[in-house]
């Protein structure tokens, strides 16, 4: 039984990483030729809508099993935190650049 639990845990981890990668690649593909659109913001919005949709299917409609729900939510939350971290880093870098420009003008 322990071997089964370990195998399921490994499977769920791999599935979680695959879901994260699929979301990232969907975002890249959708915005490959759109340079003005902030890809990270769009991916963030997509993740939030997927989270809401998954919650609705699990809580209101009962269409998803608990283990699958937990796995999907963990995947979405992990990817969302990565995206938000990149957004925050980009904003911080822009603020630093803006501050340097103001110092050079003085």
* Residue 1 confidence (pLDDT): 86
> Tokens in use for 19?
């879901």
Q: Three-state SS for 36? A: coil
In sequence order, which residues have a C-beta less than 8 Å from that of residue 47 and are 6 or more positions away? 23, 76, 79, 80, 83
The 10s digit of each residue's pLDDT in 3-59 is 988 998 899 889 888 888 888 888 777 777 665 557 788 889 989 999 999 999 999
pTM for the whole thing? 0.69
φ, ψ dihedrals at 10, nearest 5°:
-65, -40
Of 38 and 91, the structure prediction assigns the larger pLDDT to: 91
């Amino acid at each position: 039984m322990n071997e089964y639990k370990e195998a399921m845990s490994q499977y769920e981890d791999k599935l979680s990483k695959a879901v994260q990668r699929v979301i990232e690649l969907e975002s890249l593909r959708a915005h490959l030729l759109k340079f003005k659109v902030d890809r990270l913001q769009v991916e963030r919005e997509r993740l939030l809508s997927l989270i809401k949709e998954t919650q609705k299917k699990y809580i209101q409609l009962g269409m998803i099993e608990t283990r699958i729900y937990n796995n999907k939510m963990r995947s979405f939350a992990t990817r969302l935190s990565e995206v938000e971290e990149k957004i925050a880093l980009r904003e911080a870098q822009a603020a630093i650049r803006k501050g340097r420009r103001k110092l050079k003008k003085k």
